[in-house]
């Protein structure tokens, strides 16, 4: 819960839309962005004067923090992007060529599905492995779909609809055995769940900076395993090799043309430092406790349907519900207007996932919890859902 002081009017707002972007952020994130903008807001990697060098050093510090978090040996293999969508597009479009085959799942976000379907029209073969009604994927179903020309497997780590945690380590093992690249969409897991690119055989890790990593919007990143050749989808100034007309192939410059979001990246670094200080396992435990509390209580309410696994060890802090047959947009309107509770309705950019769990027409009301939510937030939400369910 947080206080929003607007025009001398105090609104108590309960923000439960952390799967879209986390809010609020830790104080040090706000402070570091402000400091970067006010004290050394120069262009990193350009110019070579003191301020540019300071911004460059800070950007590198964030690269190092992220590399450490995901067990990446060389921080230069982490590319900064503007969001997770950007990172996913870089791999999907930079790797797949006409005649290649790619396997994905029915639980993916449109940031995976749309680039793949665009490439499908250009001769890339796409297989979508169907999840069960809880959003669970059986790695054996992925294995069965492997062909001679399968180049890439791409799956989400956690469904942004049902909160289902996918077995990425097992899928990574299959990919490695078969010599296929594995791209993981860590949009809902980075900063909350353990990710080790070595142990999990992840070749590409796409992640947003603005969700679990607690950085500002407009930040994201991509890990590319050393030695894998992918073509950059954007060319331009990198501040390096300026005398040549071709894109340099060194990392991270190859994929970072144009001015970076320096202050945003500094804020992302502050977000990662915060997570390290508090302990990712403590943040995860807090969010799991909130999820358990919410699920236990919401399941007691007549008319409420909860989607995704009921076992909390398989369920991230993203909970999809419906109240009777009511349209999800109507519910969130009441939650927002009457109770000042912010959640997300509709299809959550995951149409195939909705088809998988049978909510394509109705949509769902998605509650997603962050590190700053409290058990009081949960109680107030449950009270609101109870009242709405009686009125409908």
Ligand X SMILES: Cc1ncc(COP(=O)(O)O)c(C=O)c1O
What residues line the site for ligand X (CB under 6 A)?
19-20, 83-85, 109, 111, 156, 160, 185, 187-188, 208, 220
Residue in this structure with the two tokens 């923000």, named with its chain if needed: 15
Residues found in the chain: 392
- SS3 of 126, please? strand
DSSP-derived secondary structure for 263-321:
HHHHHHHHHHHHHHHH-HHHHHHHHHHHHHHHHHHHTTSTTEEE-S-SSGGGB-SEEEE
Smallest separation, CB 223 to ligand X (Å): 15
Q: Which is nearer to ligand X, 316 or 334 (CB)?
A: 316
Burial grade of 11 (CB within 10 A; 0-12, 13-18, 19 or more): exposed
Smallest separation, CB 163 to ligand X (Å): 11
Q: For residues 261 and 305, what is the distance between their CA atoms, to the nearest angstrom?
A: 42
Q: At what angle do helices 280-298 and 262-278 cross, to 10 degrees?
A: 80
CA atoms within 13 A on the CB side of 287: 29
Q: For residues 295 and 378, what is the distance between their CA atoms, to the nearest angstrom?
A: 10
Spell out where 17-89 has E strands.
78-81
Q: Which is nearer to ligand X, 15 or 40 (CB)?
A: 15
Smallest separation, CB 212 to ligand X (Å): 11
Q: Which is nearer to ligand X, 195 or 304 (CB)?
A: 195
Smallest separation, CB 210 to ligand X (Å): 6
Smallest separation, CB 57 to ligand X (Å): 26
Smallest separation, CB 116 to ligand X (Å): 13
Q: Which is nearer to ligand X, 20 or 280 (CB)?
A: 20
Q: Which is nearer to ligand X, 189 or 382 (CB)?
A: 189
Cis peptide before 97 (omega within 30 of 0): no
Q: Which is nearer to ligand X, 67 or 112 (CB)?
A: 112
């Amino acid at each position: 819960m947080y206080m929003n002081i607007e025009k001398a009017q105090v609104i108590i707002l309960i923000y439960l839309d952390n799967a879209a972007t986390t809010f609020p952020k830790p104080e040090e994130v706000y402070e570091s962005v402000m400091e970067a903008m006010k004290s050394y807001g120069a262009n990193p990697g350009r110019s070579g004067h003191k301020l540019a060098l300071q911004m460059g050093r800070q950007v590198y510090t964030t690269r190092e923090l992220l590399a450490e978090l995901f067990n990446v040996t060389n921080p230069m293999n982490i590319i900064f992007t503007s969001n997770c969508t950007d990172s996913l597009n870089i791999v999907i479009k930079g790797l797949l060529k006409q005649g290649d085959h790619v396997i994905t799942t029915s639980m993916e976000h449109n940031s995976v599905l749309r680039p793949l379907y665009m490439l499908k029209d250009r001769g890339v073969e796409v297989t979508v492995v169907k999840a069960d009604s809880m959003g669970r994927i059986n790695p054996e179903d992925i294995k069965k779909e492997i062909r001679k020309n399968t180049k890439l497997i791409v799956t989400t780590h956690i469904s942004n609809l049902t909160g289902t945690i996918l077995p990425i380590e097992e899928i990574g093992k299959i990919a490695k055995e078969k010599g296929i690249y594995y791209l993981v969409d860590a949009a809902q897991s980075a900063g909350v769940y353990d990710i080790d690119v070595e142990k999990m055989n992840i070749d590409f890790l796409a992640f947003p900076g603005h969700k679990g990593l607690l950085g500002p919007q407009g930040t994201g990143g991509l890990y590319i395993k050393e030695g894998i050749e992918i073509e950059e989808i954007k060319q331009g100034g990198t501040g390096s090799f300026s005398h040549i007309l071709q894109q340099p192939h060194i990392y991270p410059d190859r994929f970072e043309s144009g001015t970076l979001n320096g202050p945003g990246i500094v804020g992302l670094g502050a977000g990662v430092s915060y997570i390290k200080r508090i302990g990712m396992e403590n943040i995860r435990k807090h969010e799991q406790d909130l999820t358990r509390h919410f699920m236990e209580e919401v399941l007691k309410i007549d008319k409420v349907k909860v989607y995704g696994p009921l076992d909390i060890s398989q369920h991230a802090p993203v909970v999809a519900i419906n109240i009777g047959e009511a349209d999800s947009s109507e519910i969130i309107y009441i939650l927002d207007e009457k109770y000042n509770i912010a959640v997300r309705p509709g299809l959550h950019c995951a149409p195939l996932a909705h088809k998988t769990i049978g909510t394509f027409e109705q949509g769902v009301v998605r509650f997603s919890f962050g590190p700053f939510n409290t058990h009081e937030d949960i109680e107030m939400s449950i009270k609101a859902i109870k009242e709405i369910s009686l009125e409908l």
